[in-house]
Structure 1
Amino acid sequence: MESIRNIPTVLPGNLQAKMAGYRDLQNIPMVSLAAVVLAISYFVLISFQRGRLQAPLAAAHLNQKEREKKFLGDAMSLVKDGYAKFKNGLGMYRMTTSDGSETVILSPKYLAELKNLGDDALSFNTAVEKALAGKYCGIADKDVPVAVHVIKADLTPGLSRLMPAISEEIDLALERVMKPCEDWTPVIAYSMLVDVVAQVSARVFVGEPLCRNPRWLQLSKDYTLKAFQASRAIKQWKPWMRPLVHRFLPEMRELYQVKAEAIDFMKPVTQGRSEADTTRDDFTEWMKQKSSPEFSKAYGEQAYVQIQLAMAAIHTTTMSVTHMIYDLAQHPECVEPLREELNSVLAETGGYQKETMAKLKKLDSFMKESQRCNPPGLTSFKRYCKYDITLSDGTFLPKGTIIEIDSSQLYFDPDHFPSPETFDPSRFLRLRSEGDKNSHQFATSNGDYLHWGQGRHACPGRFFASNEIKTILSKLLLNYDVRLADKEAGRPKNFVFGTQINPNPMAEVLFKRRA
């Protein structure tokens, strides 16, 4: 297979032009006292932190601007080189990001100690917010404990009850969005899947009939897309400049417009549900039952939670399933064994139940191997140090440091995964049969596999996502054949933006309905 080591960085086609446009804005005279104070404060803080942090700088032979460009276009080589040094004893290194700020990449050996530190020491939300400029684009900008509690207390335990509804909604969504495909038909996989995931997620989050409302589905998809576009746009600016320029960036204005429209649409819904006497079985109802009196009347805040839920579900799940469709097309030898398992298990269980999902071990292994080869990023376990931290070996992390664990290179380390460059759909099936049956499942998070995060901030929705992905894939496998649109070109290349890895959202694969 062509592993992520060999996939070249591809940036979206219009990104360079937009970046040039943003940089032109820097020629506008900025003489306000606020700008001067922000700039001085930022550089004093950064210089102070760097002076206290004893870690080598990646690509130190390059100047600042060159390192920023290197991160944006070839962070893969920086991380690969850093991991080789980890193997030789290095504990951590600094890496300049695209906006000139620094992040500290730590060896995976520190994970066991770091994951036990509480939120008072290491903040997940602050790290993600800073990495994605979330306070401007609405990513990890607010902590809503009730939403996480509902996922853990209601969504995950309720999957047995919810699976028939999830299966039904996937059928309805595929019927709506898939072409007839009577012969081999080009389909933009990402576009098709984002429609399916948006509708299925909405079935769980807001219930019927709103989950099929074209306006809400479009707003959910638009908000997801524009939030990440806005993040990339604002990240081209130095942190001290962002308060001054964010309202002038077209991507930010588009995001604010969609956000306002989505809240205006959803606010009457949350109010109506809050005041209704009837009981329903969806996330909105569960949150209503567990909310404080203040939050239960904050209809705008509840509406914002709904668009945040939609964004989280749509973005991550769609990317994962798109990668898996590309891998099925690239490896047609995987298809028949998966179909045989599906037919056998469905006949045994009588349909799409939670029990069905647990028995689809070959499909689970295929999904995890696709995820291993195409992780969402080069690093994981992103955290913000809320105070000075000294680890057991004396490693010092100053307050304000952003830390990350190198995870992608771990997946291609032969000491952890034999023949790591080979796409092996049965890899994790064998591991489950040889040892701990639960340690190598798709939804499992552990020290060797950080896709879902680690510790108390491991993704709480991963069990729902796993069942949703399995059901989508199974229905596509049983009803369609799939192959590459261009066999010579091979699997569509991933887009790599800094440390983020995304499937090509515009690539076509061929689908044909099975007789």
Structure 2
Amino acid sequence: MDCLQWIIQSSHTDAQRTIERLVQQAGAIFFASSHQMPMALVYAIYSLCAHSEYVELLRTEATRKLDPKADNPFKHMVLLDAFLRESARLNPLDALSIQRKVMQPFVLPSGAQIPVGNLIAVPQQAVLRNGEIYHDPESFNPFRYLSAEGKLHHGGFTTRYTDVNSAYPYWGSPRKPCPGRWYVSETMKLALLHLIFNYDFKLAKERSPRSFFWTTALVPRMDTRVLLKERETTKCETL
């Protein structure tokens, strides 16, 4: 994966291909990902520790379905994708999503009038734990996104980790979602597979708080410790 090459290839005009703009685009992406992707990865590691029954399932899936020579080596690893989505659902990086400032007055479908200058957002954390959207919303269950045949299905809403819609606003709005979400997805999958193939791990304190609010952001606690032990079994040669 080459982020810089992606920026170049997605620039279609001479004005977009100037060195100054390419540097600005790269800087914006790196700044945005400097804290959010590590936070999401930390929450995914917490989820692996808290739900260790999935570790061996993910190892087995990777052994059978990881294709390092393919353009998309994780294409058939549907459980890993579902695991990341469920971790994101229960551990959003912010209680709010799609935060906007009102530039002209408008009326919501509910009839609420929003004056100019107000800030408005989607209550992401509440949406992701809404029992009318997700069955048993407080439980961690990646299989909610998988069919009986082990394939990602559409139970009334999109199901991939990188998908976007009103039931899953983790990446923003469907009209203008996060453009770096595929980059985040690939990087997260590489990191998690390296971890599960090379280490056994657990939380030092299973019942201790693992996050806190900073304004509306949900931030991993710095004092949460994960204990790692190198595995003695053969490592995955493709990672």
CA drift at 1:394 = 3.5
CA offsets, 1:190-231, max 9 Å, x none?
Answer: xxxxxxxxxxxxx533xxxxxxxxxxxxxxxxxxxxxxxxxx
Q: Secondary structure at the match of 1:456?
A: coil
Number of the residue aligned with 1:223: none
Number of the residue aligned with 1:468: 187
CA drift at 1:448 = 0.7
Number of the residue aligned with 1:494: 211
The alignment's C-alpha RMSD in Å is 2.6
CA drift at 1:284 = 6.0
**Higher RCO (CA 8 Å, separation ≥ 6 residues):** 1
Q: Is the 8 A contact 1:482 1:510 kept in 2?
A: yes
Give the number of the structure whose alpha-carbon radius of gyration is greater.
Answer: 1
In the superposition, relative to structure 1, how do residues 433 and 318 fare at CA in structure 2: closer, same or farther (>3 Å)? closer
In the superposition, relative to structure 1, how do residues 385 and 297 fare at CA in structure 2: closer, same or farther (>3 Å)? same
CA offsets, 1:351-375, max 9 Å, x none?
Answer: 1634331211111111111111100
Number of the residue aligned with 1:483: 202
1:445 counterpart = 2:167: no
Q: Is the 8 A contact 1:380 1:407 kept in 2?
A: yes
* TM-score for the superposition, normalised by structure 2: 0.84
| Matched AA of 1:447 | S
2:49 to 310, 324, 329: 329
CA drift at 1:302 = 4.7
Greater percentage in helix: 1
CA drift at 1:507 = 2.7
Q: Secondary structure at the match of 1:358?
A: coil
What are the residue-to-residue correspondences of 1:143-292 with 2, within 5 Å? Answer: 162=1, 204-205=3-4, 282-283=5-6, 285-286=8-9, 290-292=13-15
Unaligned runs of 5+ in 1: 1-161, 163-202, 206-281
1:340 counterpart = 2:60: yes
**Distance in 2 of aligned mates of 1:502 and 1:430:** 33
In the superposition, relative to structure 1, how do residues 392 and 414 fare at CA in structure 2: closer, same or farther (>3 Å)? closer
**Distance in 2 of aligned mates of 1:442 and 1:287:** 22
Q: Secondary structure at the match of 2:65?
A: helix
1:514 to 224, 231, 236: 231
Number of the residue aligned with 1:413: 130
In the superposition, relative to structure 1, how do residues 459 and 418 fare at CA in structure 2: closer, same or farther (>3 Å)? same
CA drift at 1:303 = 3.8
* TM-score for the superposition, normalised by structure 1: 0.41
1:306 counterpart = 2:29: no
1:398 counterpart = 2:115: yes
What are the residue-to-residue correspondences of 1:10-159 with 2, within 5 Å? Answer: none
**Distance in 1 of aligned mates of 2:59 and 2:153:** 24
CA drift at 1:392 = 4.6
Percent of aligned positions that are identical: 27
Q: Secondary structure at the match of 1:386?
A: coil
| Matched AA of 1:292 | A
**Distance in 1 of aligned mates of 2:45 and 2:154:** 29
**Distance in 2 of aligned mates of 1:438 and 1:392:** 21
Q: Is the 8 A contact 1:334 1:425 kept in 2?
A: no
CA offsets, 1:272-309, max 9 Å, x none?
Answer: xxxxxxxxxx246447774418x7264xx654443322
Q: Is the 8 A contact 1:352 1:471 kept in 2?
A: no
Q: Is the 8 A contact 1:368 1:441 kept in 2?
A: yes
| Matched AA of 1:463 | W
Q: Is the 8 A contact 1:385 1:398 kept in 2?
A: yes
Count of equivalent residues: 230
**Distance in 2 of aligned mates of 1:459 and 1:391:** 24
Q: Is the 8 A contact 1:384 1:402 kept in 2?
A: yes
Number of the residue aligned with 1:358: 75
In the superposition, relative to structure 1, how do residues 388 and 470 fare at CA in structure 2: closer, same or farther (>3 Å)? same
**Distance in 2 of aligned mates of 1:303 and 1:429:** 40
**Distance in 2 of aligned mates of 1:467 and 1:330:** 23
Q: Is the 8 A contact 1:365 1:426 kept in 2?
A: yes
CA offsets, 1:326-381, max 9 Å, x none?
Answer: 111122111001100000012xx3x1634331211111111111111100111212
CA drift at 1:320 = 0.7
